[in-house]
Amino acid sequence: MDKNYLKKLQQFQKTINIFFNHPELLERALTHPSYTAEHEGKNHNQRLEFLGDAILNSVVAEYLYHHYPNQPEGRLSKMRAAVVCEPTLARVAERLGLGIYLRLGRGEELSGGRTRPSNLADALEALAGAVFLDQGWKGARSFLHNLFEGEIKKTAQGIYPDYKTALQEIIQQQGNEQLTYVILSESGPDHAKHFTSGVIWRGHLLGKGSGGSKKESEQQAARAALEQMRNKTNRSEKY
């Protein structure tokens, strides 16, 4: 490992207050696939990302189950989805300054990869996987509780990530077209309306979502579109 990068990793460990028994796990968690394409013999972070996603979902689900005993299953699922989503993960990663420590290929570096939300979110999930492998469930659980407790509490208060802004930022990379949100259906009495919205781009329905207000249904439609985009990206990277 390069000495200068080793120093950076040592600084990062101080920042997150986790000191790895196997620092190569941390190095791998912060290594983007574009870097390995230019450097033979290096492992990228996608397998750790897969593991970290499962660990993070489990930790958040356990926290919600114990701290919100009066919430039904459907509400808990929505809260977990709001916490373990790209906008929230990217925001937490930014708070850690994680982008500074990413290993990127030249092209990814020049195109703003250090601040790209998807890179930050993926690296944070990979970091969760690395901490789990190095520190065990107890260490990962404690680390993730400290990172996400504030986000969980915001979600419980009804403060959700701005999925619409996150989606618009991605779309703007393709051009200047604007997204259009439409109400697909509404039901229920006036005091308890339920709306289903769709988000449309270039004549295609990117996602749809439901909620007790038009605003919430639009946010859920944007969230669905983001998840669909991410799933397509993950599938394309596998083949």
Catalytic residues: 53, 125
The position carrying tokens 């937490």 is 92
